[in-house]
Structure formats: structure tokens, C-alpha cells
Amino acid sequence: MSVMETTTGVSAEARSMAGSPLVWGVAALLLVYPLVATPFLTFQVGGYALILGTIALSLSFLAGYGGMVSLSQMSAAGLAGYVVAIFGFNSFGSGFGWPWWLVVPIAVLASTAFSVGVGLLAIRTEGIYTIMITLAIGVAFFLLAQQNYAIFNGHSGFAGIAPPVLFGLNWRDPLPFYYLALFVAAVFYLAVVYIARAPFGLALQAIRDNPRRMRALGYNVTAHRVAAWALAGIAAGFGGVLLVWFNGRISPGTIGVDRLIDILVIAIVGGTRRPAGAFLGAIFFVLLDTYAINVMGAERFNTLIGVLFLAIVLFSPDGLLGLWEKARRSFATRGSGV
């Protein structure tokens, strides 16, 4: 796959998507959704999917555009969540009690620094190492949080964490929280769409396809990659802040190895070639997570998720989004044929 093909391909598609009625339709649907859905569907399904989608987006951005699959994005998000619990309020009374407008930037800064740190380690090695290194670092952070009581409060973690009451609204209520999550998700979605077309994003994709050539062309490969990790850290950080507000609590279980894998599953099932994939995967995952027990019981949920993941990896490397596009394309050709 040559540099030119990839980059022009993506940007052209992105351009066509921006103006397509489908995009506007989905946007309208997302805005109207909480007005028709129950509070449970708004908060527990909608809000949760948007949060997981944002965190998965940070993974799929790194993987899709940078060619670096990071399993530690949930750890970065978790770190941001811990910062919110430690610097803000928690029910153990051990929080510093700083206001949200101070805590949230610190949290995002922490997750960004974490992500950059992981990135600096990962980019020193071959691409495929990244997945192992990030898995190991993610588990290391989990173990640290579980063992450390002075900072992370060990296995119990923190509870009683709530978003602020602002402009007369309790941002924990389903409707405001949903729109907050939607806003954050939209900002990062648009940011990734924009970056994919900007010179930085084009260079990043070219580096993914052939780092040696880009280095020869005078690009600073390391700087581009580190910048990508930083961006992913910011997205994960905001996702983590929302996640800790959503759960109202955080503990090592939030960043355990299963959760790291969940984020990967979401990103891959949705499709990493487009920012929308992460959110599609998240909606799918949350629906399954919530309702599979009604259909088939909880016992074999992991088999279902695993088989689904395998099927996607084996048969549709571009994820659900790829399937959808294939379907649309074949539909379009059939339509034009008539």
C-alpha cells in the first residue's frame, strides 16, 4: 500500500462523509436519543457507550493512523480517574477537595504524561512489541494501584466521586451526563477526523506505512509518534474523567487486564480505520454487556464476545464499519445496475 493511496483515500472518504446525509442523520439521532429513551438507556447504555467509545477512540487512533496498538489506554484513562478521586472529593474524605476546573486539567495532564511515557518506551522497539509492552505496563499499573494504599487506596479504591453541580444542573443526572459525554465524544471524533486530513495526520499515516522512507524524507518520526501518543492520552484522559464520574468510583478492577482487553475488543470490533468505528464498537459492546444475560445467561458471555472478536479479526479486518461499507457498496452497485 503506497503512501499516496492510503492518505488520499482516507481524506477523500472523510471529506465525502462530512457532507453525507448519513452523518447528519446519525448526529441528529444522537441528539434526539435521550428525549425518547428511558433514563436507564440514556445513562447506562448511551452515556457508557460514549465514554468507552472515547477511550477506544484513543486506541484506534493510535492503531489505525499510527500503527501502534496500545493496550494501556484504559490505564491512562484510569489514572485520570484516580486523579479526579484523589485531588477532588471522595467518600473516604481523603481527597484534596480541589474544584473540578482544577482537577480535570490535572487529570488529563496526568493521563497525557502517562501515555507519552508509555509511547517513549514503546517506540524504541519494533511495532509488534508495542502490544506486549503496553499490556505489561497496564498490568504493572494495576498491580501498583492494588498494592499502594498511600495514594491509590489499594484494592478498595475510591468511591463517592461525583461530577460537579454547575449552572443549576446535576451533571450526574442522565440527561446532562449524556450530553456531556456526547460533547466530549464529538470533540474527539471531529478532532481525529480533522487530524487525519491535516499534514500531521498524513505524515503519521505515512510513517505507519513506511517509517524508513519518511525518516529519509527528513520527517522526525519519533516526534510524530510521541505527538500521537500525547493526543491519545488526552482523549483517554477525558474518557477516564467521565468514566469515574459515571461509575462514581474507581478501583484496581476498573483498570484490570480484562478491562484493557475490552477496550481493544471495542476498537477492533468497530473498526480502527475510522474514528466512528470506536463508537460503533462501544455501542455494540455495551448492548451485549447489558442484555446478553436476558438472552443467553451470563455464564458464557466471554465466549460470545471472544467469538465475535475472532470473527471480526478473521473475516472483516475493518470491523463492523467495514462490513457496513461493504454492504453499502454492494447495494450501491446493485442499485446503479438497475
Whole-Å CA distances, 18 to 8, 12, 25, 27, 189: 15, 10, 11, 11, 12
Nearer to other proteins, 12 or 296 (CB): 296
Q: Distance (Å, rounded) from C-alpha 161 to C-alpha 89?
A: 6
Q: Residue count at the site for other proteins (CB under 8 A)?
A: 84
Secondary structure of residue 170 in the 3-state scheme: strand
- Choose which of 132, 151, 190, 223 interacts with other proteins (CB under 8 A): 132
Q: How far is the CB of 188 from other proteins (least distance, A)?
A: 23
| Binding string, residues 44-63; x marks residues near other proteins by CB under 8 A | x---x---------------
Nearer to other proteins, 55 or 135 (CB): 135
- Choose which of 1, 4, 36, 128 interacts with other proteins (CB under 8 A): 128
Contacts by 195-203 with C-beta closer than 8 Å and gap 24+? 195/61, 195/65, 195/231, 196/10, 196/11, 196/14, 196/65, 196/275, 197/10, 197/11, 197/14, 197/15, 200/224, 200/227, 201/65, 202/7, 202/11
Secondary structure of residue 256 in the 3-state scheme: coil
Residues 256-295 that bind other proteins (CB under 8 A): 256-258, 261, 264-265, 268, 284, 287-295
Measuring CA to CA, which residue among 80, 82, 142, 136 is closest to residue 111?
80
Nearer to other proteins, 159 or 230 (CB): 159
Q: How far is the CB of 279 from other proteins (least distance, A)?
A: 15
Nearer to other proteins, 39 or 105 (CB): 39
Q: How far is the CB of 130 from other proteins (least distance, A)?
A: 9
- Choose which of 28, 140, 151, 190 interacts with other proteins (CB under 8 A): 140
Nearer to other proteins, 186 or 308 (CB): 308
In the chain, which residue ranges form alpha helices assigned H by DSSP?
3-19, 21-36, 39-40, 48-66, 73-87, 100-122, 129-147, 174-197, 199-209, 211-216, 221-247, 257-270, 275-296, 301-315, 319-337
Q: How far is the CB of 99 from other proteins (least distance, A)?
A: 23
Residues 77-96 that bind other proteins (CB under 8 A): 91
Which residues have C-beta within 8 Å of that of residue 227, sequence separation ≥ 6? Answer: 200
Nearer to other proteins, 198 or 304 (CB): 304
- Choose which of 155, 213, 215, 328 interacts with other proteins (CB under 8 A): 155
Q: How many CB atoms lie within 10 A of CB 306?
A: 13
Contact present, 242 and 77 (Cβ < 8 Å): no
> Is 40 a residue that touches other proteins (CB under 8 A)?
yes
| Binding string, residues 20-39; x marks residues near other proteins by CB under 8 A | ------------------xx
- Choose which of 310, 330, 331, 332 interacts with other proteins (CB under 8 A): 310
> Is 334 a residue that touches other proteins (CB under 8 A)?
no
Nearer to other proteins, 148 or 220 (CB): 148
Contact present, 30 and 182 (Cβ < 8 Å): yes
Q: How far is the CB of 151 from other proteins (least distance, A)?
A: 12
Nearer to other proteins, 77 or 193 (CB): 77
Nearer to other proteins, 154 or 197 (CB): 154
End-to-end Cα, the chain, rounded Å: 33
Residues 191-250 that bind other proteins (CB under 8 A): 247-249
Which residues have C-beta within 8 Å of that of residue 34, sequence separation ≥ 6? Answer: 42, 46, 174, 175, 178, 179
